[in-house]
């Protein structure tokens, strides 16, 4: 920024440092530019001002005020009056309180703005630190870092990959340090439940256990506690926060079930001042600790899954995003077997945006395969993943049988007959395949051996997931999704339902609820939300689940595992709170996102359910209603979101009428679900007939 400053320009710096400390905190290059160009320097703790006025981390009003106060574009008094007029126009629909807080922030900004004295000489010795560490791969140091610094246009074409492929797992080098408040662990209060890392949208909270001897050489102050588990009396537990990647969203604090007896506001994890240097030191040591063996982890509990390494980390999604925790959980559960067909939307922006990607790999260099497709054809695109994997598996089995005697009949038979459902079975199969490849490499080359080597990894079962938002699943790609569910193939679908086109500006979709305000539904949505779950259940042979991790994390975990284990099509519809909903707590958007998920379930708006065709085959009722009867009025949910409240301000009569209709619609839908849970889907002839005529499993696997 200073490189582009004209001589005599005015510089505004947002910093928490006191005025007398600002100059000495600047690196030598910055001081030199300011002195040489005779720049005037102003400073303000905009983040602190915003928080003090109840705006959370939103500093736009504060910095806009400072800009007009020091730029001279308009007379100061006229500029401030115009800003407050703009505030009333912009935020008036959100309520008088929001307008008052922003107006107060304007006044507080003027009081906190100070000019920093600039000496005639450069006094700093510290240089600007490297953007990425010296130990990063060469491509990251030379290409990725240049893009991160905003100099991508200066790269020669020859520096870019000729085939368009970029290394994965590069968000770990993009230490943004965007929040001055980050998660801080209190080992003395922690019960090691795993809830905080389970809901963390950016995978910045990691847990592990290890022998006490592994702490030899730990830096002073490195936090650990005795592992609370039977059978490992000498093991230690650490919950590590990657503070430089933390966005300070606070969902972990909300999810923590433990409070200090003397101070209920203090939990086992809290938001505290960021300390990048200490964090960097502790993270470096944490990453030297032994990785927990996947075959020794309890996949059936929230706590157990959080000992698994996430292979989706540090995404650039909104702070407090409701989608990314589900993707991180997929990467933990299914690891390097995971294949993701991603529909264009938010997940394509935070999932594959240059210059970095959050999809990463384990120590062996193995990780999920991820590729993005369009809104309209992603389901078919993902079905292609399944068909290709099936063809690769068939070729691998045929070629293995043809060289059975050359590689050893016992090994070949074990590979071909190996069960692959439990993690210990996958581990054993990987070892067999590794031994197979070793033996093949020792044989004389041939076309059959080359074919087998090219597809041998497919002898370990692939987990194919088709992922996207409601704009894809309910609207633009709904025809393709229906086609894929009807195919009977072994594919899994994850719909991250934000109930609005989040990525393109907040347009209404068929998932937008009755009475909500969105673009193209400015007067409130006038028709109910489409019931995608019931549509899928009508096929009879599709595994269907509706989940909300903020309401029942254990049910979410169980549904994802059951969907993946089911031999046939499955769909999991996941409640994903979104910044477009207008959820706010203490001036911070999405801070109570998980609490809002709980309200969605408790009011009956989002009933948790599972439909498991395998239960029908066993003679049971396949429809399972996992949440109790509504125990809160719908207003307890709607009143917490701006998308409902704004209509009450602009058209109270319409808002009241739509709210009544929404409550009635919930009651009717709940009655349908309750009867299905009590009497079974045979109560509904269409479902029963469909189930009777469709195969329960897909035999192609």
- Top pLDDT among 188 and 503 is at 188
As for how many domains the chain has, the answer is 5
pLDDT digits (tens, 9 = 90+) for 347-365: 999 998 889 999 999 999 9
Joined tokens for residue 522 = 């400015």
Asked, for residue 324, whether it belongs to a domain, the answer is: no
In whole angstroms, what is the distance from residue 471 CA to residue 481 CA?
A: 12
**pLDDT for the residue numbered 671:** 94
- pLDDT averaged over every residue in the chain: 92
In whole angstroms, what is the distance from residue 49 CA to residue 36 CA?
A: 31
Mean pLDDT of 179-191: 95
Cβ atoms 532, 474 nearer than 8 A:
yes
Q: Closest Cα partner for 168 from 357, 338, 372?
A: 357
Checking if the pLDDT of 697 tops 60, the result is no
Asked, for residue 381, whether it belongs to a domain, the answer is: no
Checking if the pLDDT of 373 tops 90, the result is yes
- Tell me, what DSSP letter sits at residue 293? P
Strands 205-211 and 235-241: antiparallel
CATH number at residue 152: 4.10.780
Strands 235-241 and 10-14: unpaired
Joined tokens for residue 12 = 């505004």
**pLDDT for the residue numbered 372:** 94
Q: 104 and 223: one domain?
A: no
Checking if the pLDDT of 490 tops 90, the result is yes
Mean pLDDT of 96-107: 93
Q: 455 and 469: one domain?
A: no
Asked, for residue 362, whether it belongs to a domain, the answer is: no
pLDDT digits (tens, 9 = 90+) for 601-622: 999 999 999 999 999 888 899 9
Domain end (from 459, 475, 498):
459
**pLDDT for the residue numbered 354:** 86
Distances (CA, A) of 218 to 135, 184, 285, 287: 21, 18, 7, 11
- To 5 degrees, how large is the angle CA 276–CA 58–CA 152? 65
Q: Closest Cα partner for 527 from 516, 514, 518, 540?
A: 514
**Residue 563 belongs to domain spanning:** 463-693
Asked, for residue 546, whether it belongs to a domain, the answer is: yes
Cβ atoms 249, 590 nearer than 8 A:
yes
- Tell me, what DSSP letter sits at residue 241? E
In whole angstroms, what is the distance from residue 172 CA to residue 360 CA?
A: 9
- Tell me the pLDDT band of 588, cut-offs 50, 70 and 90: low
List residues bridging with 225 in a β-sheet: 237
- To 5 degrees, how large is the angle CA 675–CA 678–CA 680? 80
Asked, for residue 351, whether it belongs to a domain, the answer is: no
**pLDDT for the residue numbered 591:** 83
Q: Closest Cα partner for 337 from 481, 458, 433?
A: 458
Checking if the pLDDT of 185 tops 90, the result is yes
- Tell me the pLDDT band of 210, cut-offs 50, 70 and 90: very high
Cβ atoms < 10 Å from Cβ of 281: 15
Q: 135 and 222: one domain?
A: no
Strand segments, DSSP code E, in 268-325 are: 269-273
Joined tokens for residue 35 = 């002195």
Give rounded-to-5 percent helix, strand, coil for the chain: 45, 15, 40
- Tell me the pLDDT band of 1, cut-offs 50, 70 and 90: confident
CATH number at residue 74: 3.40.920.10
Q: 66 and 138: one domain?
A: no
Cβ atoms 305, 292 nearer than 8 A:
no
Give kind and range of the element (H or E) at residue 572: strand 570-575
Q: 564 and 686: one domain?
A: yes
**pLDDT for the residue numbered 617:** 85
Q: Has this prediction a pTM greater than 0.85?
A: yes
Asked, for residue 360, whether it belongs to a domain, the answer is: no
pLDDT digits (tens, 9 = 90+) for 455-465: 999 999 999 99
List residues bridging with 43 in a β-sheet: 13, 114
Mean pLDDT of 512-520: 92
Checking if the pLDDT of 231 tops 90, the result is no
CATH number at residue 652: 3.40.50.970
**pLDDT for the residue numbered 698:** 43
In whole angstroms, what is the distance from residue 250 CA to residue 244 CA?
A: 15
CATH number at residue 195: 3.30.70.20
Buried-state track 526-565, b at ≥16 Cβ within 10 A, e below 16: eebbbebbbbbbbbbbbbbbbbbbbbbbebbbbbbebbbe
- Tell me the pLDDT band of 700, cut-offs 50, 70 and 90: very low
Cβ atoms 240, 209 nearer than 8 A:
no
Three-state SS annotation for 383-439: HHHHHHHHHHHHHHHHHHHHCHHHHCHHHHHHHHHCCCCCHHHHHHHHHHHHHHHHH
Q: Which of 12-16, 93-97, 371-375, 613-617 has the lowest mean pLDDT?
A: 93-97
Q: 44 and 148: one domain?
A: no
- Tell me the pLDDT band of 590, cut-offs 50, 70 and 90: confident
Checking if the pLDDT of 694 tops 60, the result is no
Per DSSP, the three-state class of 259 is strand
Q: 660 and 537: one domain?
A: yes
Cβ atoms 319, 179 nearer than 8 A:
yes
Checking if the pLDDT of 693 tops 60, the result is no
pLDDT digits (tens, 9 = 90+) for 434-478: 999 999 999 999 999 999 999 999 999 999 999 999 999 999 999
Asked, for residue 354, whether it belongs to a domain, the answer is: no
Owner of token pair 């929001």: 98
Cβ atoms 625, 619 nearer than 8 A:
no
pLDDT digits (tens, 9 = 90+) for 305-360: 999 999 999 999 999 999 999 999 999 999 999 999 999 999 999 998 889 999 99
- Tell me the pLDDT band of 688, cut-offs 50, 70 and 90: low
Q: 523 and 642: one domain?
A: yes
Q: 530 and 641: one domain?
A: yes
Q: 435 and 412: one domain?
A: yes
Domain end (from 443, 459, 475):
459
Q: 554 and 662: one domain?
A: yes
Percentage of the chain exceeding pLDDT 70: 96
In whole angstroms, what is the distance from residue 284 CA to residue 55 CA?
A: 34
Asked, for residue 382, whether it belongs to a domain, the answer is: no
**pLDDT for the residue numbered 505:** 85
**pLDDT for the residue numbered 503:** 87
Joined tokens for residue 525 = 């949505």
The sign one gets for the Cα dihedral 496, 293, 200, 149 is: negative
**pLDDT for the residue numbered 295:** 85
**pLDDT for the residue numbered 83:** 94
Q: 651 and 511: one domain?
A: yes
């Amino acid at each position: 920024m200073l490189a582009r400053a004209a001589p005599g320009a005015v510089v505004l710096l947002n910093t928490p440092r006191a005025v007398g400390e600002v100059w000495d905190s600047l690196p030598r290059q910055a001081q030199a530019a300011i002195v040489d160009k005779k720049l005037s320097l102003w400073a303000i703790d905009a983040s602190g001002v915003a928080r003090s006025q109840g705006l959370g981390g939103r500093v736009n009003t504060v910095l806009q005020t400072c800009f007009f106060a020091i730029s001279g574009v308009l007379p100061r008094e006229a500029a401030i009056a115009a800003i407050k007029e703009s505030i009333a126009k912009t935020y008036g629909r959100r309520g008088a309180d929001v307008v008052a807080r922003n107006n107060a922030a304007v006044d507080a900004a003027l009081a906190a703005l100070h000019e920093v004295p600039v000496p005639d000489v450069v006094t700093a010795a510290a240089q600007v630190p490297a953007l990425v560490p010296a130990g990063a791969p060469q491509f990251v140091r030379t290409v990725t870092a240049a893009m991160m610094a905003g100099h991508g246009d200066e790269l020669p074409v020859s520096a870019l990959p000729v085939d368009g492929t970029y290394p994965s797992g590069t968000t770990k080098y993009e230490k943004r340090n965007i929040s001055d408040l980050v998660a801080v662990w209190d080992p003395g209060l922690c019960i090691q439940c795993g809830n905080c890392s389970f809901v963390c949208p950016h995978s910045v909270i990691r847990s592990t256990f290890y022998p006490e001897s592994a702490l030899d050489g730990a830096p002073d102050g490195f936090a650990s506690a005795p592992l609370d588990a039977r059978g490992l009396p000498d093991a230690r537990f650490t919950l590590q926060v990657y503070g430089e990647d933390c966005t300070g969203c606070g969902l972990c604090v909300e999810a923590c079930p433990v409070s200090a007896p003397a101070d209920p506001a203090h939990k086992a994890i809290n938001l505290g001042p960021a300390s990048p240097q200490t964090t960097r030191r502790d993270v470096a040591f944490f990453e030297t600790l032994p990785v927990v063996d996947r075959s020794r982890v309890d996949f059936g509990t929230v706590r157990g899954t959080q000992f698994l390494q996430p292979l989706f980390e540090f995404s650039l999604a909104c702070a407090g995003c409701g989608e990314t925790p589900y993707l991180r959980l997929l990467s933990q559960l299914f690891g390097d077997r995971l294949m993701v067909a991603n529909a264009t939307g938010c997940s394509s922006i935070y999932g594959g945006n240059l210059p970095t990607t959050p999809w990463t790999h384990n120590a062996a260099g193995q990780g999920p395969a991820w590729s993005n497709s369009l809104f309209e054809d992603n389901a078919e695109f993902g079905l292609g993943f399944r068909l290709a994997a099936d063809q690769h598996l068939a070729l691998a089995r045929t070629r293995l049988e043809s060289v059975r005697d050359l590689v050893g009949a016992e090994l070949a038979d074990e590979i071909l007959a190996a069960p692959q459902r439990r993690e210990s079975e996958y581990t054993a199969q990987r070892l067999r395949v590794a031994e197979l490849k070793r033996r093949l490499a020792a044989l004389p080359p041939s076309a059959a051996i080359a074919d087998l080597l090219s597809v041998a990894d497919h002898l370990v079962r692939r987990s194919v997931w088709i992922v996207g938002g409601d704009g894809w699943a309910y609207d633009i790609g709904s025809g393709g999704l229906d086609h894929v569910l009807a195919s009977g193939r072994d594919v899994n679908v994850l719909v991250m339902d934000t109930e609005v086109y989040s990525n393109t500006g907040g347009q209404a979709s068929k998932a937008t609820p009755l009475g909500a305000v969105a673009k193209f539904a400015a007067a409130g949505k006038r028709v109910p939300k489409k019931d995608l779950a019931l549509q899928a259940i009508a096929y009879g042979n599709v595994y269907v689940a509706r989940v909300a991790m903020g309401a029942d994390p254990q049910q979410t975990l169980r549904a994802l595992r059951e969907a993946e284990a089911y031999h046939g099509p499955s769909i999991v519809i996941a409640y994903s709170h979104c910044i477009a909903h207008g959820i706010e707590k203490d001036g911070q958007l999405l801070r109570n996102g998980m609490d809002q998920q709980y309200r969605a379930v408790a009011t009956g708006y989002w009933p948790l359910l599972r439909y498991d065709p395998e239960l029908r085959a066993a003679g049971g009722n396949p429809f399972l209603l996992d949440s109790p009867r509504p125990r809160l009025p719908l207003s307890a949910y709607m009143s917490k979101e701006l998308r409902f409240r704004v209509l009450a301000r602009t058209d109270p009569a319409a808002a009241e009428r739509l709210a009544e209709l929404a409550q009635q619609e919930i009651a009717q839908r709940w009655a349908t679900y309750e009867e299905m849970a009590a009497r079974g889907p045979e109560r509904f002839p269409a479902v029963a007939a469909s189930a009777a005529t469709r195969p329960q499993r897909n035999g192609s696997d």
